Structure 1
Amino acid sequence: MATATSRSGSISVETTEEGLPIGITVEREELRRAPGELAREILRLCRQSANRAGLARRAELEAAGLSSEMLALTGLPKPEDVAREELVEESDYDVEPQSWLRSV
């Protein structure tokens, strides 16, 4: 399991390696967004969280001594692939928070 959070911190998603959400937290102000936008953001965070969970699993398998050939067969993401994807998503981030201030 892993977690991904929106840039503003107002949406947080925890998923399995497959991207199935286990928990979703959405702050009240995000509920004012268009439903399609909110859904796209949640799905983006699910993908990001799944990639991070896959990286954690890959690290566990590497630590257990699985060869690089066997790791390749698992289909788990490589660190450089996840980093590249997160950079692309960050540059494509089209929803700016309405305020950088958050209630504490």
Structure 2
Amino acid sequence: MSSARSRSGSLAVITTPQGLPVSVRIDQSALDKEPAVVADEILRLCRQSAMAAGIRLREQLIASGVERDVVDAMRLPRADDLARAEQLDDHDLDAPASWLRSG
């Protein structure tokens, strides 16, 4: 199992190593958001959780003596892949949901 949570801590998921959610925790503050926004954030957290599981598997395989070429051929994520994905997600979360003016 793997887990991830939002920066605010209002959402948290526990997933299989493949990113399938087995538990989702939603704090009351997250319920104030649009349902589509909450759903998108849950999916993002599931992807991040799967990447974290892949990174741990990569590290375990290398530590157990599996050759790096073999591990690289498995195309498991690296820590910098997760960091890059988190930066992109942060950028997307800061972008306006709509360019239309209200009012």
Distance in structure 2 (CA, Å) of the matches to 1:30 and 1:90? 17
Distance in structure 2 (CA, Å) of the matches to 1:84 and 1:36? 24
Q: Quote how far apart the aligned CAs of 1:31 are.
A: 1.8
Distance in structure 1 (CA, Å) of the matches to 2:35 and 2:83? 28
Distance in structure 1 (CA, Å) of the matches to 2:94 and 2:14? 22
Matched, 1:4 2:4: yes
Q: Give the unaligned 5+ runs of structure 1.
A: 96-104
Q: Quote how far apart the aligned CAs of 1:32 are.
A: 2.6
Distance in structure 2 (CA, Å) of the matches to 1:33 and 1:93? 13
**Aligned residue number for residue 89 of structure 2:** 89
Number of residue pairs the alignment of both structures matches: 95
In the superposition, the TM-score normalised over structure 1's length comes to 0.82
Aligned to 1:92, the other structure's residue is in SS state helix
Residue by residue over 1:61-102, the C-alpha shift from the partner in whole angstroms, topping out at 9 and shown as x without a partner, is 11111111110122210122122111221222238xxxxxxx
User: Aligned partner of 1:34: which letter?
Assistant: E
Q: Give the unaligned 5+ runs of structure 2.
A: 96-103
Distance in structure 2 (CA, Å) of the matches to 1:40 and 1:55? 23
Matched, 1:41 2:48: no
User: Aligned partner of 1:59: which letter?
Assistant: E
Matched, 1:71 2:71: yes
Aligned to 1:9, the other structure's residue is in SS state coil
Residue by residue over 1:12-41, the C-alpha shift from the partner in whole angstroms, topping out at 9 and shown as x without a partner, is 011122111121100122123211111001
